Amino acid sequence: MSVFEAIILGLIQGLTEFLPVSSSGHLVLFQDILNLVKPGITLEVILHFGTLLSVFWVFRKDFIDLLSFRKDKDQRYYLFVLIIGVIPTAAIGIFLRSYVDLLFQSTLVVGIAFMITGGILKFLTMLPEGNKNHTQIMVRDALWIGLFQGLAVIPGISRSGSTIAAALWRGLDRKTAVRYSFMLSAPVILGATILEVSSILATGLDRAMLLNYFAGGLVAFLAGIAAIQIFIKVLSEQKFQYFAYYCWVLGTIVIGVSLI
C-alpha cells in the first residue's frame, strides 16, 4: 500500500466515523467497488486509534472532568451511565461478530443499510429537542442508546446518526446527546483497537510501512476532529436531511450496481 492510499483511507475513516454516513459502509465501497487496496491489520488499528484520539481531543474537558468522579457525584453517575451504554454494544459485537463479518462481504446489504440510515437521519430531523442533561440520563436511556450503537456494527448503518436519534428520542437535549454519543464511542473504538492489537503482536510490525502508518493515522485524527465539529454544527442547525438524501442516493446506486 502506498502512502497516498494510506492517506485516502485515513481521510475516509476520520470523516465517516463521525459524520452520520457510516465509516464501515464507505470502507466496504471504496475497497470493493473502487478496488482500493484493503489495509492490513496494523493500519486498521492505527486508523481507529487516530479517530479515538480525535474524540479525546474534542471532548478533552469532559474526559478530564470524568477523572473527578470520586469527588463529584454527578460525574460518578455520568460515568455509570456511560458504562451501562457500552454493555448492549459489547454484547452485540461479541455474540454477532461472525454474522457481521458475513455482512461485510455483501455490497447489497451495505446499500440497503444506507437506505435505512437515510430514514434514521430523516427521522432525526423531526424529533423535538428534549430537556434531559447528563445528570438526568436514566439507565433505560443508556441501554437504548447503546443498543442503537450496537446495531451500527452493520456496514452502512451510521453509529453517530443512530445514537443521536436514540438520544433525542429518549428526551436528551442536543448538547447532552452529542456529548454522550461521542464519549460513548470512545470505549467501543478502544475495545476494538485492543482486540486488533493481538493480531499485530502475532504478525509483527512492518517497519517499511511506518511512514504509511503515521500518515494514515494523522489524517484520520485531523479528519475526525473536523467531522465532529461539522456534526455538531449540522445538528445545531437541524440540517441532517442533507445527509439523509446523500445516504438514499448512495444506497440506491449501490443496490443498483449490486443487482446489475
Residue pLDDT, tens place only, 75-88: 889 999 999 999 99
Pairwise pLDDT comparison (100 vs 38), residue with the higher score: 100
Whether residue 69 is predicted with pLDDT greater than 80 in this model: the reply is no
Q: Is the pLDDT of residue 39 over 60?
A: no
* Phi–psi pair at 2, nearest 5 degrees: -80, 165
**pTM of the predicted structure, to 2 decimals:** 0.84
pLDDT at position 202 is 64
Mapping DSSP onto H, E and C, the string for 35-76 reads CCCCCCHHHHHHHHHHHHHHHHHHCHHHHHHHCCCCCCHHHH
Q: What is the CA radius of gyration of the chain?
A: 18
Question: Rounded to 5 degrees, what are φ and ψ at 132?
Answer: -80, 130
Q: Which three cell numbers stand for residue 61?
A: 474537558
When mean pLDDT is compared over 21-25, 48-52, 99-103, the highest value belongs to 48-52
Asked if 77 contacts 209 with a C-beta cutoff of 8 angstroms, the reply is no
Model confidence at 198, pLDDT cuts 50, 70, 90, reads: low
7 has pLDDT over 60? yes
Give the three cell numbers for residue 108. Answer: 447489497
Q: Which of 34-48, 119-133, 159-173 has the highest mean pLDDT?
A: 159-173
Q: Which residues have a Cβ under 8 Å from the Cβ of 182 and sit 6 or more positions away? A: 18, 55, 58, 59, 160, 228
Confidence of residue 141 (pLDDT cuts 50, 70, 90): very high
Count CA within 13 A, CB hemisphere, residue 77. Answer: 10
Any idea which of 59-73, 168-182, 242-256 has the lowest mean pLDDT?
59-73
Q: What is the mean pLDDT of residues 168-181?
A: 90
Q: Is residue 221 within 8 Å of 50, Cβ to Cβ?
A: yes
Segments in 127-240 forming alpha helices (H): 139-151, 159-169, 174-203, 210-237
Take residue 197 and report the three cell numbers written for it.
492489537
Q: What's the confidence (pLDDT) of residue 233?
A: 87
Look at residue 225 in the predicted model and tell me its pLDDT. Answer: 95
